[in-house]
Structure 1
Amino acid sequence: MSQPASRGALWALLVGNFVIGTGVMVVPGTLNEISASLSVTAATAGQLITAAAAVMCIGAPLLAAAVAGWDRRQLLALSLLWYAAGHVLCALMPSFGALLPMRMLTVIAPAIFTPQAAACAGLLVPPEHRGRAVTFVFLGWSMASVLGLPIGALIGGHLGWRMAFAAIALLSVASATWVWLTLPNGIRPAALTAAAWSRVLRSPVLMGIVSVTALQGAGQFVLFSYFGPILKQSFGADATTLSVMWALFGACGLVGNMVVSRYIDRVGAGRMVLITTVLIAASLLLWPLASTLAWLAVVLVPWGLGCFSTNSAQQARLVGLAPALAPGSVALNSSGIYTGQAVGAALGGWLLANDASAWMSWVGLGLVLVAISLSVAIDRSRRAP
């Protein structure tokens, strides 16, 4: 594959991840509007995050096996079209009871797209550039946080959450077209055999890394899932203010991912994971000290820098350790991301429903500290003679 063609395909995958990430995060961004529109509590509305994350968690590895033989151009384009149709149907649902199962069907697309785009990116470039290619494609998630999430929150706050969902549907169709036009035919990563899956599942290092991802996600989503209600209740933030805070968080996320993408091959993926996770922990530690929106904005900076970049580093870590097993390990890592989201959103919802929101940051910090300890232990075990 020629260099310009490779670059165009990587950009298409990046934009695809942008759309996928925007769609995944549209619920946290419009949680206040969904809650008010469908006459449910914020804690109940937050279970849209939990249920969707559970589907993505289970679906990522199962679907990786099911679609192993598919041409990636067709697979990735079709998954984006599924995403478009799902968001249109979600926008038409009249009640929370109808929206929940439709949301669960819609997020089958992220369960396919994100891990398969990462594995595909690794095949579009020479081996020595795989880490950078994978993290480049994952920049789409950071772009979703800096542009997609705040714009979605702004649309939801002023035009309603249904219009925000409709906008994602339009973006999904456009992204599917770009993927179809730029990816070459015939990209079919070798299907993992039962023996290969067994190697992934029985590898203490690979499964340890996936566990780190799950713990990171759970620690973050205890609080991240309910930014909207917390900022509204504690600081009186309106839709515009909330969009600005999301944009700040996302801008830091984009910067963090760009830095990781540039230096990860030099610093090493394991060390980069440690740095980015420590940044997240620092924000959770300082969260209770934020007494005004201005101070909260300062506290959010380290978290934003580490939030999405740590996932990029984790994906690159897995691809670099076992390239041949990447379709399986990256799918399981995506499963770890979504497991963390489901557990974190459920924990946060329980705390919010029981008037214990002050504990959210401490519970999240505890989970992230466990992730840091496990990540350090994995790196030390690999260096041991």
Structure 2
Amino acid sequence: MKQPALPAALWALLAGNFVIGTGVMVVPGTLNELSSSFQIGAATAGQLITAAAVVMCVGAPLLAAVVAGWDRRVLLACTMLWYALGHLVSTLMPTFGALLPVRMLTVIAPAIFTAQAAACAGLLVPPEQRGRAVTFVFLGWSMASVLGLPLGAMIGGHLGWRAAFATIALLSLMSAGWIWLKLPSGIRPAALSRDAWARVFKSPLLMGVVCVTALQGSGQFVLFSYFAPVLKERLGADATQLGLIWAWFGACGVVGNMLVSRYVDRLGASRMVLLTTALIALSLLLWPLGVSLAWLAVLLTPWGLGCFATNSAQQARLVSLSPALAPGSVALNSSGIYIGQAIGAGAGGWLLANGAIGWMNWVGFATVLAAIALSASVDRAQRRAPAISA
């Protein structure tokens, strides 16, 4: 039976997530250009990633409470306008010290948009279509990894990082207009209660899953944050080659997400988390064997398949553990992703600054193994005490 068409407003939200994701990932894609422009090391430039991740980690749950009563049409359109302004002002910054606080203010937009777009999407369709609607809107992030990240890297590599940031500003303006035209007014999702947050924090199983997410992110971003300078130093990769590597990685991410969506109910969310995390660990283990860009692309395939898919599996796992607490646990899981990015980028920057590039994949590998061990432990605890009170 043919599924009914989704509302046009969901396309606007998908496009918004695409722009948000592209803007978040523009720094890793232009790290070489940022370093050259400000005459600083890649490790120092990488602190833009760490600082932004901290803001998004802390901001996501706090800002969810602040904007709870806002009309979502006004909120999401204004969020994209803020994103546009932040990227435009960034292009005018003369020094790294000036750019850093502007970047931190700019990423308030991702801290708001993605979670609120998901909540909004669920209210635009009948209950039986909500899962499909939320998944559809989140495709924007996958598209950002396939198209947005390599596009930003290529623009930055050939025209400079300011041109890449200006492109994000233009796309953000277009997205704000699309959202304003297509999203109906009067949408105000219910705010998360203090009681719901308290129950999430008091649940060892839910908090264990969130910690797995943080470890996964930390392990990946030790190396992922610095792909550009590492590949330039190791293999002499230019901007076009880096863009192709990013595109391949993102394409694998889309395939991985599709496979998880298809098989997660059959295999179970916890098993899917273990499988996708193991794929990431495999690429980190084999990383030293990448003696050419072509061979490296092959070695990155498991990582790409698992990178984005493991977050989807983690969200499905949290929902299955306690559907009633899912709004709180999934929001906190987003913070886990961002704090993992901050820790991983910080650790990777330290290794890069101290000439320890050869250790980056091993530190990431050990951290991802820790995530696998903790995930298995949470799974065993769930089998002993499967019920989580609502």
- The alignment's TM-score, normalised by the length of structure 2, stands at 0.93
C-alpha deviations, 1:157-199, integer Å up to 9, x for none? Answer: 0001001001111111222222233333333222122222111
| Structure 1 residues 132 and 281, CA gap change in structure 2 (3 angstroms) | farther
1:174 maps to a residue whose letter is: M
Per the alignment, residue 294 of structure 1 pairs with 294
Residue 137 of structure 1, CA deviation? 2.4
Deviates more, 1:61-70 or 1:101-110: 61-70
2: CA distance between counterparts of 1:80 and 1:106?
10
Deviations 1:284-320 (A, max 9, x none): 1111121221211101111111111212222333344
Mean CA deviation greater in 135-144 or 331-340: 135-144
TM-aligned CA deviation for residue 56 of structure 1: 0.6
Q: Is the contact between residue 285 and residue 361 of structure 1 (CA under 8 Å) also seen in structure 2? A: yes
Alignment of 1:150-299 (within 5 A): 150-299=150-299
Aligned to 1:79: 79
Secondary structure (helix, strand or coil) at the match of 1:223 reads helix
Alignment partners' CA distance in 2, 1:218 and 1:376: 18
Tell me how far 1:265 sits from its aligned partner: 4.1
Residues 25-44 of structure 1 mapped to structure 2, 5 A cutoff: 25-44=25-44
Counterpart of 2:388 in structure 1 is: none
Provide the C-alpha distance between the structure 1 equivalents of 2:77 and 2:157, rounded to a whole number of angstroms.
30
Cα distance, 1:318–1:222 mapped onto 2, change above 3 Å:
same
Please report how far the alpha carbon of residue 363 of structure 1 lies from its aligned counterpart in structure 2 after TM superposition. Answer: 0.7
Aligned residue for 1:364? 364
Structure 1 runs (4+) greater than 6 angstroms displaced: none
Counterpart contact for 1:132–1:261, Cα < 8 Å: no
Give the unaligned 5+ runs of structure 2.
386-390
Note if contact 2:214-2:338 (Cα within 8 Å) is conserved in structure 1: yes
User: What is the CA–CA distance in structure 1 between the aligned matches of 2:124 and 2:325, rounded to whole Å?
Assistant: 16
* 2:97 equivalent in structure 1: 97
Q: How does 1:98-117 map to 2 (within 5 A)?
A: 98-117=98-117
CA distance in 1, matches of 2:128, 2:383: 21
How far residue 101 of structure 1 moved from its aligned partner, in angstroms, is 0.2
Tell me the SS of whatever aligns to 1:92.
coil
Q: Give, in angstroms, the shift of residue 326 of structure 1.
A: 3.6
One-letter identity of the residue aligned with 1:351: L
Q: 1:334: how far off?
A: 1.4
86-95 or 65-74: bigger deviation? 65-74
The Cα of 1:342 is off from its aligned counterpart by 0.5
Q: Residue deviations 1:1-28, cap 9 Å, x none?
A: xx86744333322222111110010000
- Distance of 2:319 and 2:128 partners within structure 1: 11
Residues 6, 133 of structure 2: 8 Å contact kept: no
Name the count of aligned residue pairs.
383
Distance 1:376 1:307, change over 3 A: same
Q: Which residue identity does 2:74 align to in structure 1?
A: Q
AA of the residue aligned to 1:183:
L
SS of alignment partner, residue 188 of structure 2? coil
Q: Do the aligned partners of residues 202 and 47 (structure 1) sit closer, same or farther apart at CA in structure 2, a change above 3 Å counting?
A: same
Change in Cα spacing, 1:226 to 1:154, as seen in structure 2 (3 Å) is same
Provide the rounded CA distance (Å) in 2 between the counterparts of 1:270 and 1:132. Answer: 21
CA RMSD of aligned residues (A): 1.9
For each residue in 1:190-214, what CA deviation from the matched residue of structure 2 results, as whole angstroms up to 9, or x when unmatched? 2122222111211222222211111
Amino acid at match of 1:78: C
How far apart are residue 129 of structure 1 and its match? 5.1
Residues 16 and 312 of structure 1, relative CA distance in 2, 3 Å threshold: farther
| Whole-angstrom CA distance in 1 between matches of 2:133 and 2:204 | 26
> 1:317 aligns to what?
317
Output the amino acid matched with 1:239.
Answer: A
Counterpart residue number, 2:62: 62
Q: Give the stretch that moved more between structures: 371-380 or 49-58.
A: 371-380
Cα displacement (A) at 1:345? 0.4
TM-score, scaled relative to structure 1 = 0.94
- Per-residue deviation at 1:343? 0.3
The amino acid across from 1:23 in the alignment is: G
Q: How far apart are the structure 1 equivalents of 2:11 and 2:264?
A: 19
Deviation string 1:203-241 (CA, Å, 9 cap, x unpaired) is 222222211111111100000000000000000111111
Name which of structure 1's ranges 154-163 and 68-77 shifts more when overlaid on structure 2: 68-77
Alignment of 1:321-340 (within 5 A): 321-340=321-340
Q: Which shifted more, 203-212 or 173-182?
A: 173-182
- What letter matches 1:302 in structure 2? P
Q: Distance in 1 between matches of 2:117 and 2:103?
A: 22
Contact in 1 for aligned 2:7/2:125 (Cα 8 Å)? no
